[in-house]
Structure 1
Amino acid sequence: MSERIKVYQQVISEIQRLIKEDGYLPGDKLPSERQLSVQLDAARSSVREALRAIELLGVIETRQGEGTYFRDYQTYHAVELLASFILQGSQIQEELQQAKKLLENHVLSVDSLSDQQLGQLMKILDEPSLSKGEKHHRFFLVFFKANDNQLLLKIWRLMQDFSENMEQKAYPDQYYFDILKKHKNTIE
């Protein structure tokens, strides 16, 4: 592991510790990058990178020209654990894609799609302006919502957000039509 990654991870841990120990409440302003850099004895670039990663988790928000603020952050501990794992792993891309595919395959087992949801899926597949990534996201979002499991939905969304920045396998349209065909046969 490179020294830069170690520093970045240490800065994330230190910022999380500061948030807990200093009792930040939603809406409270965090110290500036410069102040955090001095306080944590870390380079500003490492602090900036750590803040971006923590912002991806939804813990903080950066407001242009105003600073960084602690958000109203309530979630499942499993999601926090997953997020920490994603931020720390160097070999995570492949594992993230495997885990995401497992979740997606799980929600495909839902057999309670309404006619309205089937219509939504067809509309998504017929929309030519959607990129392959957006089509995949919207398609599976219908299934996750039909599954009615908020934890799975939250974990999948987190994985989806992180994987958007990674190279992903693009599925041909036929992949989605085959899934839809199976569900139509199950319903009929």
Structure 2
Amino acid sequence: MQNPNPPSKMFIDIVSELRLMIKTEGVKIGDKLPSERVLAEKLQVGRSTVREALRSLELLGLIETRRGEGTFLADFKKHQLVEVLSDFVMQQPNSAADVDNTRSIHERAAIQTICGDPAKHALPVWESLYANLEESGSVLREDIIREMIVAANNRLSLKIWFILRQYSKIPFSQMTDEGEKPIVAELLLGIIQGDENKALSAYSQWIDEIEGGK
């Protein structure tokens, strides 16, 4: 019997569990988070996995690490970038196209970065997503895109993308449908193989497919 779950937890899974833990335990801005060891035990994952999730949250400005002291919950609202981009989107009623075009630029750049770096396109998350797609027939659209942006490891791009994602008209919060499956599989294979042209071509087809079905 095949295991319906992917072989390793994805970033979004770890982040969701971390956020739930922070909420249920009443951790407030400025409070210290548990150590990597404690988090790994609570989340039932390896310390290296927790370390990567924490590093990604730090890139977003949601937590901050102080050398010799530990990791603390940060106030993301203090970041002016968040305020500037949010104000622009809110005040421009016809900015939907600009939002999606800019979001796409960041997503394509992430694909190029991943395919150009052997360590990045060898990350186990791509195999996990591909296996999940093959076994269950669908995956959450946002899981794929978010993993790409995180893997690219560009702090500024990550912050901008998260804001643009909130205002995008693309329904990334939905599961992929049967028509998207071969395209998404091609995208993931392109990333796994480090084939930039293949991955970008599949990405463009996928976005067109999603937009056509909105």
Greater relative contact order (CA < 8 Å, ≥ 6 in sequence): 2
Q: What TM-score does the superposition give when structure 2 sets the normalisation length?
A: 0.44
Which structure is larger by alpha-carbon Rg, 1 or 2?
1
